[in-house]
Structure 1
Amino acid sequence: MTVRQNEITEVLNRPISQELLARDLTRLAYVAKDGTPRNVPIGFTWNGSQVVMCTSTNAPKLHSLRANPAVALTIDTEVHPPKLLLIRGRAELDAVEGIPDEYLQMNGSYQMTPEQRVEWEAQVRSLYDGMVRIVVTPTWVKLIDFETNLPSAVEELIQQQERQRT
């Protein structure tokens, strides 16, 4: 499935997409080293063109992502009607020394007092000598808000129903 970059950009620039891209967690789906699917929640940040996630250098998902970098991300809400942003792309892995700025940014919206934030950051810096940035540039996106955008299967059922009525 080929999607033009300008179509991806248009979807990602919609207000609902921007709201979702400002959330704390995404669900990262990938194929594990045993060949079975995995879907894990992970903190992320959006830098305007890429989703950036960070993980420890010994995370099991890194072996899997090196073997098969194809990933899918879901960012959604917990209210009715739900809003969902679906993203596909390839994971690029970037090992860095110390704590990436993105890791500190992606945890910035959790409710912490300034004192808790200082303590949390000190713990993070003492635990990790380095991390791996998982960077995904979207190659396909779909926004579903259940008002103006529906899942394709639901759209198909509605069209079938309308054809039967005419």
Structure 2
Amino acid sequence: MEPTTVAEILDRPLSRELLARDLTRLAYVAADGTPRNVPIAFSWNGTEIVMCTPPNAPKLAALRAHPAVALTIDTEVHPPAILLIRGRAELDRVDGIPAEFLEANTTYEMTPEQRVEWEAGVRALYTDGMVRVVVTPTWAKLIDFETTLPSAVEELVRRQAGQ
């Protein structure tokens, strides 16, 4: 998929809304060769999806060996809005807590006092730093079930219409 097409899809209003959410589902191939799909907090900076994880997370070895990943960001309503993204994970170990980790957890309902307590707990827990998992999208599809559908459903609709 051309980078300009990816950028156009990610710049649509519904995509921007989904990219402002807190959780994505990260799919990758684990070290034992089996598939994994894990929910993980993320931050979108306009060109990259940034997820942060402890340096001892098992997914890091798997991502080093097989950096191709797929991400799903969706809603819990009917019809769902779904943003599918593919790319390659780049790993960046950092001291302390990356700003993206703190940004990725801003929409959870917390009082200012709870936020201060949560952040202090995070800083105390991740004393060995964190690893930023950075994905630059190379492919994207937005499904809203009104103007866009999964490809298999699109094919069925075309068949039904006799095309």
Q: TM (normalized to structure 2)?
A: 0.98
User: Pairwise mapping of residues 36-115 of structure 1 onto structure 2 (< 5 A)?
Assistant: 36-115=34-113
Spell out structure 1 runs of 4+ moving beyond 4 A: none
Cα RMSD of the aligned pairs, angstroms, is 0.7
In 1: Cα distance, 2:32 partner to 2:2 partner: 33
Equivalence for 1:144: 143
1:154: Cα distance to partner?
Answer: 0.3
Gaps of 5+ in 1: none
AA in 2 matched with 1:56: P
Of all paired residues, the percent bearing the same amino acid is 73
SS of residue in 2 equivalent to 1:163: coil
> What secondary structure sits across from 2:162 in the alignment?
helix
1:163 CA drift (Å):
1.1
Cα distance per residue 1:33-53 (max 9 Å; x no partner): 000000000000100000000
Structure 1 SS opposite 2:161: helix
Paired residue total: 162
The amino acid of 1:15's aligned partner reads P
Q: Do residues 156 (structure 1) and 128 (structure 2) align?
A: no
> Please, which runs of 5 or more residues in structure 2 have no aligned partner?
none
Question: Could you tell me which amino acid in structure 2 is paired with residue 71 of structure 1?
Answer: V
Q: Residues of 2 paired with 1:57 and 1:6: CA distance?
A: 34
Structure 1 residue 139: Cα displacement: 0.4
The two structures have a TM-score, normalised by structure 1, of 0.96
| 82, 107, 123: which one aligns with 1:125 | 123
CA deviations over 1:92-147 (Å, ceiling 9, x no partner)? 00000000000000011110000000000001101112000000000000000000
